[in-house]
Structure 1
Amino acid sequence: MAASSSSSEKQVVLIGIDDSEQSTYALNWALDHFFPSPIFKLVLIHSRPTATSAVGFAGPDSDLRKIAARVLETAKQLCFNKSVNDVTAEVVEGDPRNVLCDAVDKYRAAILVVGSHGYGAIKRAVLGSVSDYCAHHAHCTVMIVKKPKIKH
């Protein structure tokens, strides 16, 4: 009996990345636990704000493009350093909550990995937690990776 194409296809691990240390920690964690692997394929998604929503926040559109390029370059370098070379990386304009959930559907991801920023209740209520939203709306398993707090 021939194996179906779906059984030989690699499952997608999709990682939401930004320029935070929590994102870098989550990416490193996922690389250490899932890769290199014969069964997983890595997709990195960076959501960047639209220029109109970011005016006065991060400067003009060219600054947003530079930040996005730097985020992707840093993430790809981390992957390369851990011998993970088969990486799809994409920058998508929009709200990270929607961007990540849409990417899960586009790539038929088996798992979505996001970092936790550890916002307090007030900041989370104002900004909205990306990880919380994805946990409730993404059509796949969602892993929220928390950076351990350093005890003094």
Structure 2
Amino acid sequence: MNEHRYTIVVGVDGSPASKAALRWAVWQARLVDGGITALMAWDAPLIYNWEAPGLEDFATTTAKHLHEVVNDVAGDSDVEISREVAQGHPARALLDAAESSNADLLVVGSRGHGGFTEALLGSVSQHCVHHARCPVVVVRGDS
């Protein structure tokens, strides 16, 4: 019998909000004896009739940054954290990762801008909340 392990996908971009989301995901994973997939997405600008040189460099740089952020936030954690780099829009990459891994939970950070806009979610978190096939937790950045 294939036993399902509780899986959390968390979006990481290096911002304070995404670091708070990763910290929260580590806390939750510890509670439920689950694992985490930390995902960082990158995208090259689309310019007609132009090929971006060295797309591999974008992926390599992104993977290095993801590794640094995860080590900084959760380096001493006993929670299993896999790292994934995806090319494309962050919201789409997070939704795809959550669906393909049959995630139990998707965790994203939300950057507050103060005042009235503080009540609004960012575009990535809002898109995930509306389109994910699993529960979504939106974590506010550290103040």
Residues 51 and 62 (structure 1), Cα distance of their counterparts in 2 relative to 1, 3 Å cut: farther
The residue number in structure 2 matching 1:18 is: 13
Q: Give the AA of the match of 2:16.
A: E
Task: From the CA coordinates, give the structure whose radius of gyration is larger.
Answer: 1
SS in 1 for 2:36: strand
**TM-score for the superposition, normalised by structure 2:** 0.77
Is the contact between residue 97 and residue 134 of structure 1 (CA under 8 Å) also seen in structure 2? yes
Quote how far apart the aligned CAs of 1:36 are.
Answer: 6.7
Identity of aligned residues (%): 29
Moved over 6 A (4+): none
After superposition, give the CA deviation of every residue in 1:91-114 in whole Å (9 maximum; x if it has no partner): 000011111111111111010000
Question: Is 1:80–2:75 an aligned residue pair?
Answer: yes
The residue number in structure 2 matching 1:56 is: none
> Number of residue pairs matched?
133
Q: Give the AA of the match of 1:117.
A: R
The residue number in structure 1 matching 2:94 is: 100
Quote how far apart the aligned CAs of 1:69 are.
Answer: 2.4
Quote how far apart the aligned CAs of 1:73 are.
Answer: 1.1
Question: Is 1:137–2:139 an aligned residue pair?
Answer: no
Structure 1 unmatched ranges of 5 or more: 54-59
The residue number in structure 1 matching 2:51 is: none
Question: Is 1:9–2:17 an aligned residue pair?
Answer: no
**Residues in 2 aligned to 1:24 and 1:66: alpha-carbon distance in whole angstroms:** 20
**Residues in 1 aligned to 2:26 and 2:44: alpha-carbon distance in whole angstroms:** 29
**Residues in 2 aligned to 1:33 and 1:71: alpha-carbon distance in whole angstroms:** 23
Is the contact between residue 36 and residue 83 of structure 1 (CA under 8 Å) also seen in structure 2? no
Is the contact between residue 8 and residue 105 of structure 2 (CA under 8 Å) also seen in structure 1? yes
Q: Give the AA of the match of 1:103.
A: A
Quote how far apart the aligned CAs of 1:48 are.
Answer: 0.6
**Residues in 2 aligned to 1:10 and 1:75: alpha-carbon distance in whole angstroms:** 24
**TM-score for the superposition, normalised by structure 1:** 0.73
Residues 33 and 44 (structure 1), Cα distance of their counterparts in 2 relative to 1, 3 Å cut: same
Structure 2 unmatched ranges of 5 or more: 48-53
